[in-house]
Structure formats: structure tokens, C-alpha cells
Amino acid sequence: MNALHSPVHNLAETVARLREEFPILCQEVHGKPVVYLDSAASAQKPQCVIDAVNECYSSYYANVHRGMYAFSERSTDAYEAARDKVRGFINAAESREIIFTRGTTEGINLVAASFGRMRVKAGDEVLITALEHHSNIVPWQILCEQVGARLRVAPITDAGELDLAGFEASLNERTRMVAVVHLSNALGTIVPVKTMIQMAHQREIPVLVDGAQWAPHLATDVRDLDCDFYTFSSHKIFGPSGVGVLYGKAEHLEAMPPYQSGGDMITRVTFEKTEYAEIPSKFEAGTPNIAGVIGMGAAIDWIQRVGFDTIAAQEQDVLEYATARVREIPGLTIVGTAPEKAGVLSFTLEGIHPHDIGTLLDQSGVAIRAGHHCAQPLLQRLQVPATARASFAVYNTREEVDTLVAAIRNVQTLFN
């Protein structure tokens, strides 16, 4: 985890320049400068991403892979160039291992509905963890209900850290699939997925990793992890919404049946039989979000220009500063205190519902998330009905944390 503490020279100046690339951060809300602390839900977009989407629609938009004319050829080239950018971004072996989806949720559903139905049968088990987002729970529940399998949950500690020994003990001869989050959206806990993958692979169990929260914060190397599937969303990595990525090892994708059917995922159709296209086209039925994919490619270019050293250093500095500052507030409890965290600070205030905290912070221009964060089983395990969550990106600063702390104290004053 050394990347969390990588030194970057002139970090404050670098971040100040980066903030200027985000037009939305220059606004005011309720007469106050906006302090956007909800990047775990969706990151804001730099101007280069906005420009890339605008250029597509204004200069060369057309459907991809199908037109024998200039606009279509240019759209296709930009669309496929984005696929290769994703390949490099996560260090996949081949571009054909990159499937474009509507987001992490669809990526997990695709694997559960296609690969899962091939592999998981009655009496088998699928293993997840207590840290999962609903998107990495419900698809596996549905699969298990359909085939008569059992969904098992690896335990966590009271600090919100994965119980690695408990995970290993949960693996057995009936385990046919493991699906695990890389970084908890509700707590910020970093999960030791590489070790978990090694444990699973020793038993020849394939592993899907939900990388939605990890991908914006730290570099991803799917070949180093040796995961079988990895999925993440564009809108978390400063790109457009409605777009995502599923990486899968080529041998798995080639063996899997299509998840959806329609145009562009076939080579030949008759009323008697359909022949499917090769990967990745086999899993990309219909007209895709062309401009969104191109915008995601621009977001990857932006991240690589900024560098994960800068991103990790700034986010870790802000997280550590925020953690120290909020601990000064009486009646505030931090939820999720694992030693390895990134990007997320969840908390409760004694006697004040998180929804009230979020509503009142908005009056100070501070945008946070409040509720169960699509992780109800996790919060039930921690015996907390809801939390207020501040989540950070490279564009957040210590000064914004000071604004958050002052606003929280004001909430307490109003209630008391």
C-alpha cells in the first residue's frame, strides 16, 4: 500500500491547478462556495471530458462498426481507441478482453447471468463478503435462487476490515464463485483482493472483483491481481455516466453465452440459427453509448496525465486530515476504522439523523451522502441504520475539510 503515501512535490499547487479544470467546482450553492464531497457516488468531470463528449456529438457522431462513411469511421476509431485506453489503464493482456457496459452493476449482472449460470448448480456456493454493495449481492442472490445454490458471506471485524482467516475458512469444495469488492463504498476499507484471489485460485475457484471504488483512487493491474473478472464505472473515474467496463480473461469470455442479444453481436442470423460474433462484440448488443465511451477514454487520458501518485497523495492527505479534524467533534463517531482506507469518511452524530445532517450541510454548500449507501447488510452488521458519508477525490482540499467541520458543528448547534 506504499502508493497511498507516495510523495508529490508542490502538491497544493498541483491540486489548485487541477481544480480549475472542473467548471462545476467554481459555482455557489445557497450563496456559498460549493464543497463537493460525494465523489464515491459520482466524481465531477474535467473540461477535457466535457469537450470530448461535445466534440463527438457536434463534429462526427454516427453509429459505430456499421457505416461505410466518414462520420461512422471516425466514431468507430474513437470508440475502439477508448477500448485500448481501458486495456492500458488496467493492464489487460488484450483489448478484446474489455467489454463496454452501462456500469459496474451491469458488469456484475453479466457475469452472474452468463458465467454464473454455466458454473453454479444446485448445492453449490457463491462466496461474497459482508462489505459488498447491493450490486454485488443481489445478482448472486438471484442466481442462487434460480439454480438452488447457497450464497455465503465472509465475515468482517467491528472496524470494518475483512476477516481474512474467516474468508479462507469459508472456501470449500462447494464454492464455485467468489465475488468481492476492492474498496468499500460505505467505509473506504481497502480489501486484500490479491491474497483472496490466490486463496481462491488454489482451489480453482474463479474471482470477480468489484472495482467501482478502487479504480479512481489507485492503479489497477488485472494481470498482477490475476482476477478472472474486474468491473468498474466511468462516472467514478471522472467520465460520463451510463458507461462502464467489464474485464474478463479471454478464455472465460469466449466460453460464455451472450448476456443480451440483438444487433452487432452476431455474424449471421437465420430463422433457424444465429451465429455469434467474437469477443468483445458478443457482449455488446445494440447501439452503445458512443459519446460516453469516448468521454471515458478522455477521462482515462486525464487520470494518466495527473498520475496516481498525485491522486493518492492528495486524497490520503485530505482523508487523514479530515479524520483527525472530525475526531475533535464531541458526539461524532467514525464508522469504519480499518487501518487501510481510501477516499471515504463515514460518521454519525449523536442524536441527529444522517438525513438531517446532509440536508443542513447543504445549506452551507457542503454536498455529502447520507443513508445506507446501497450497503444495508454491512450497516446492519455494524449495528448502524445509516451514516453521513464524506468522500474525497483529488480535487478536494484541507480548506474544504475545514468548511465541512464548521458546518457539522453548526448542525450540532442548531439541534442542541
Confidence of residue 203 (pLDDT cuts 50, 70, 90): very high
Q: Tell me what the pLDDT averaged over the chain comes to.
A: 95
70-86 in b/e form (b: 16+ CB < 10 A) is eebebbbebbbebbebb
Give catalytic status of residue 227 as yes or no: no
Which of 111, 121, 112, 171 lies closest to 149 in space, CA to CA? 121
Q: Are residues 300 and 162 in the same domain?
A: yes
Instruction: Supply 5's cell numbers.
Output: 503515501
**Residue holding cell 469504519?**
336
Q: Are residues 148 and 294 in the same domain?
A: yes
CATH number for the domain harbouring residue 20: 3.90.1150.10
Can you give the pLDDT at residue 412?
96
* Rounded Cα distance, 128 and 138, in Å: 11
Which of 134, 143, 137 lies closest to 115 in space, CA to CA? 143
Domain boundary among 249, 278, 304: 304
Number of structural domains (the chain) is 2
Q: Are residues 218 and 75 in the same domain?
A: yes
Q: Which entry of 26, 56, 227, 374 is annotated as an active-site residue?
A: 374
Instruction: Supply 307's cell numbers.
Output: 498520475
* Rounded Cα distance, 194 and 197, in Å: 5
Q: Are residues 119 and 225 in the same domain?
A: yes
Q: Are residues 325 and 178 in the same domain?
A: no
Measured from the Cβ of residue 399, the count of other Cβ atoms closer than 10 Å reads 12
pLDDT digits (tens, 9 = 90+) for 344-376: 999 999 999 999 999 999 999 999 999 999 999
Domain boundary among 272, 304, 336: 304
Q: What is the mean pLDDT of residues 208-237?
A: 98
pLDDT digits (tens, 9 = 90+) for 228-282: 999 999 999 999 999 999 999 999 999 999 999 988 888 899 999 999 889 999 9
Helix (H, G, I), strand (E, B) or coil at 52: helix
Q: Are residues 132 and 98 in the same domain?
A: yes
Q: Are residues 137 and 247 in the same domain?
A: yes
Q: Are residues 106 and 9 in the same domain?
A: no
Can you give the pLDDT at residue 389?
98
Q: Which residues pair with 176 in a beta bridge?
A: none
- DSSP, residue by residue, 30-42: TTEE-EE-BTTT-
Task: Kindly tell me the number of DSSP H helices and DSSP E strands found in the chain.
Answer: 15, 17
Q: Are residues 62 and 148 in the same domain?
A: yes
pLDDT digits (tens, 9 = 90+) for 49-105: 999 999 999 999 999 998 889 999 999 999 999 999 999 999 999 999 999 999 999
* Rounded Cα distance, 325 and 56, in Å: 44
pLDDT digits (tens, 9 = 90+) for 6-43: 445 689 999 999 999 999 999 999 999 999 999 999 99
Which of 212, 181, 254 lies closest to 101 in space, CA to CA? 212
Element (H, E) at 208: strand 207-210
Confidence of residue 4 (pLDDT cuts 50, 70, 90): very low
pLDDT digits (tens, 9 = 90+) for 95-153: 999 999 999 999 999 999 999 999 999 999 999 999 999 999 999 999 999 999 999 99
Can you give the pLDDT at residue 263?
84
Domain carrying residue 221: 50-304
Domain boundary among 279, 304, 329: 304
Residues in the chain: 416
Helix (H, G, I), strand (E, B) or coil at 288: coil
Answer whether 38's CB lies under 8 Å from 345's CB.
no
Q: Are residues 323 and 282 in the same domain?
A: no
Q: Are residues 143 and 96 in the same domain?
A: yes
Q: For strand 369-371 and strand 332-335, is the pairing parallel, antiparallel, or unpaired?
A: unpaired
Can you give the pLDDT at residue 277?
87
Helix (H, G, I), strand (E, B) or coil at 314: helix
Q: Are residues 335 and 279 in the same domain?
A: no
The answer on pLDDT for 1 being more than 50 is no
List alpha helices for 120-262, DSSP H. 138-147, 164-170, 193-201, 222-225, 250-255
